[in-house]
């Protein structure tokens, strides 16, 4: 049996204070078994040393000194360009951005971009006034229309220059997620022009302002689906219940609490969606009565009267158009396939994801998952344990295949 080859990521670091964040990216990639090579510009070395990056990646970090020394069997920029599966540049400075926009190559970093064919992920960082300059935005938009370049928007906040505004580099988890996506898709944007509507997390059905019926869903699977769709070029709307996670820029977010609220938002956004994914763990029942003030402990009922909540995915299935694809989730214990297959047929879904919630490191709250995909054509595809982002990409592969 052949041993899988490690994935290969090349990281270019520009001159900016945000360079320190790249240490977390490099360290996490290495811990996950990814081979990492690093290029630093001369300006980058003012903020972070090659020794630091070499220690984290377990491989020498390259600078322009290496570029101009004939000590390699092949030109270094050619060797690195052919080696990389994904090339991430973070932080991307205004200077390097301008060079890439005009195809200039005057250092190791920019020469390697031209000598490579892999997808390039760009994570800019700069002062707000610099970022908002018309010429900088022109260069940014020019690269954004190039299918080879994948762009992470800047965030707003307190910058190192004490300015509050746009220009903050994307945080390491967002960069890492996009790198993982590109390793899966090789830069494919098969969802460009599509709108994807996703529900995520659990709902809460309150019987007073502080008590509710709920479930352990954290929304991580729905977030992963939203990230995967975004990275593949879709316009994404995420309707989520109470959750504690950061949602990447570029995703339209609608926060809800109850099943009724989620139903209203899902049905209200259905008409514009091409793909609808119900990954939320929606309540089946709710308390029949609601107290507008907190009930004293002594006043709590011995038996809580319940009533059914509307079945959101059934309503979506009734209203969906022929061009739309509706995908459900079935969180199960024990035999996961038979109940999911029954749900697929009974609710007239296009596909369903059966995932076990009684297996280690899978299901609610976990960063990983496993599943069986089923569709109306009789296909069944088993996905072994993997990250939830990988599972999300496998699902989009399945429904587009």
* CATH of residue 61: 3.40.50.1950
**Is 294 marked as binding a ligand?**
yes
Out of 167, 185, 203, a domain closes at 185
Distance CA 250, CA 231 (A): 10
Alpha-carbon distance of 122 to 130, in angstroms, equals 17
| Within a domain: 82 | yes
Provide the residue range defining the domain that includes 342.
195-400
Assess if residue 14 is contained within a domain.
yes
Whole-number Å distance between alpha carbons of 204 and 256: 9
Residues 170 and 241 in one domain: no
Task: Give the span between the Cα atoms of 77 and 81, in whole angstroms.
Answer: 6
* 239 and 341 belong to one structural domain: yes
DSSP symbols for 60-110 = PPB-HHHHTS--SSS-HHHHHHHH-SEEEEEEEPHHHHHHHHTT---SHHH
- Residue 64 marked ligand-binding: no
Task: Confirm whether residue 38 is marked as ligand binding.
Answer: no
**313 known ligand binder:** yes
Question: Are 205 and 287 contacting, i.e. CB atoms less than 8 angstroms apart?
Answer: yes
Beta bridge partners of 149: 120
Residue 3: its pLDDT value, please? Answer: 55
Residue 230 CA to residue 219 CA, distance in Å, equals: 16
Residues 53 and 162 in one domain: yes
Q: Which of 277, 262, 276, 263 is nearest to 324 (CA)?
A: 276
- Whichever domain contains 342, its CATH number is 3.40.50.10300
Same-domain pairing of 199 and 179:
no
Angstrom distances, CA of residue 91 to CA of 18, 95, 113? 6, 11, 15
Q: Determine whether the annotation assigns residue 311 to a binding site.
A: yes
Q: How far apart are the first and last CA of the chain?
A: 27
360 and 221 both lie in a single domain = yes
Of 185, 218, 240, the residue that ends a domain is: 185
How far is the CA of 117 from the CAs of 8, 48, 395, in angstroms? 14, 27, 26
pLDDT of residue 1: 45
Q: In whole angstroms, what separates CA 223 from the centre of its chain?
A: 7
Number of domains observed in the structure of the chain: 2
Identify whether residues 395 and 306 lie together within a single domain.
yes
Q: Which residues pair with 213 in a beta bridge?
A: 205
Same domain, 14 and 144: yes
Structure tokens at 377: 């054509």
Whether 127 is covered by a domain: the verdict is yes
Same domain, 239 and 148: no
Cβ neighbour number for residue 241 with a 10 Å cutoff: 27
Q: Are residues 171 and 216 in the same domain?
A: no
Are residues 179 and 226 part of one domain?
no
| Residue 323 per-residue DSSP state | T
298-308 b/e with 16+ CB inside 10 Å = b?
Answer: eeeeeeeeeee
Query: CA quadruple 169, 173, 174, 178: dihedral positive or negative?
Result: positive
Before 91, cis peptide (omega within 30)? yes
Q: Considering the domain boundaries, does residue 345 fall inside one?
A: yes
> How many helices (H) does the chain have, and how many strands (E)?
14, 19
Instruction: Determine, yes or no, domain membership for 26.
Output: yes
3 assigned to some structural domain:
no
Q: Residue 2 falls within a domain, yes or no?
A: no
343 annotated to a ligand binding site: yes
HSE-up (13 A, CA, CB side) for residue 31: 7
Q: What is the CA radius of gyration of the chain?
A: 24
Q: What integer pLDDT is reported at residue 74 of this predicted model?
A: 83
Tell me: is residue 172 an annotated ligand-binding position: no
Among 166, 185, 204, residue at a domain's last position? 185
67 is in an annotated binding site: no
Of the candidates 220, 227, 179, the residue with the CA atom closest to the CA atom of residue 200: 220
Please enumerate in sequence order all residues whose Cβ is within 8 A of that of 17, keeping only pairs 6 or more positions apart, or say none: 47, 125, 160
Q: What is the pTM of this model?
A: 0.94
Which residue ranges in the chain fall short of pLDDT 50?
Answer: 1
Please list the active-site residues.
161
Please report whether residue 353 resides in a domain. yes
Please check whether residues 213 and 285 belong to one and the same domain.
Answer: yes
Residue in 309, 317, 252, 244 with CA at minimum distance from that of residue 282: 309
pLDDT at residue 40, rounded to an integer: 98
- Predicted local confidence at residue 128, as pLDDT: 93
Is 220 labeled as ligand-binding?
A: no
Please check whether residues 270 and 175 belong to one and the same domain: no
Interacting residues of 143 by C-beta distance below 8 A, sequence separation 6+ = 97, 100, 101, 122, 149, 151
């Amino acid at each position: 049996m052949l041993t899988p080859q490690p994935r290969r990521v090349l990281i270019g670091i520009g001159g900016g204070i945000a360079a320190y964040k790249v240490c977390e990216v490099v360290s996490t990639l290495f811990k996950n078994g990814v081979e990492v090579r690093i290029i630093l510009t001369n300006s980058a070395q003012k903020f972070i040393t090659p020794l630091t990056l070499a220690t984290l990646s377990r491989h020498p970090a390259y600078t322009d000194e290496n570029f101009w020394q004939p000590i390699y069997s092949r030109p270094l920029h050619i060797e690195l360009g052919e080696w990389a599966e994904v090339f991430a540049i973070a932080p991307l400075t205004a200077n390097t951005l301008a060079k890439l926009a005009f195809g200039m190559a005057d250092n190791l970093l920019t020469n390697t971009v031209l000598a490579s064919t892999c997808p390039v992920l760009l994570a800019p960082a700069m002062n707000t006034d610099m970022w908002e300059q018309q010429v900088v935005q022109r260069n940014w938009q020019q690269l954004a229309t190039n299918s080879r370049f994948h762009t992470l928007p800047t965030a707003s906040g307190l910058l190192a220059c004490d300015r509050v505004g746009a220009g903050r580099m994307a945080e390491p988890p967002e960069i890492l997620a996009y790198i993982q996506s590109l390793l899966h898709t090789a830069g494919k944007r098969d969802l460009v022009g599509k709108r994807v509507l996703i529900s995520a997390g659990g709902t809460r059905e309150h019987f007073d302002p502080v008590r509710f019926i709920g479930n352990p869903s954290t929304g991580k699977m729905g977030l992963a689906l939203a990230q995967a769709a975004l990275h593949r070029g879709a316009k994404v709307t995420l309707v989520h219940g109470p959750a504690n996670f950061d949602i990447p820029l570029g995703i339209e977010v609608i926060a809800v609490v109850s099943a009724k609220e989620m139903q209203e938002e899902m049905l209200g956004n259905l008409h514009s969606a091409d793909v609808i994914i119900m990954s939320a763990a929606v309540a089946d029942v709710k308390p029949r009565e609601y107290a507008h003030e907190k009930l004293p402990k002594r006043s709590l009922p011995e038996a809580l009267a319940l009533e059914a909540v509307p079945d959101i995915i059934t309503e979506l299935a009734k209203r969906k158009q022929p061009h739309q694809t509706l995908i459900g989730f079935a969180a199960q214990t024990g035999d996961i396939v038979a109940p999911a297959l029954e749900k697929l047929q009974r609710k007239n879904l296009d596909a369903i994801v059966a995932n076990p919630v009684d297996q280690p490191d899978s299901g609610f709250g976990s960063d990983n998952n496993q599943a069986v995909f089923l569709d109306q054509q009789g296909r069944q595809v088993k996905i072994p344990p993997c990250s939830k982002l990988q599972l999300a990409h496998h699902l989009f592969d399945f429904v587009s295949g």
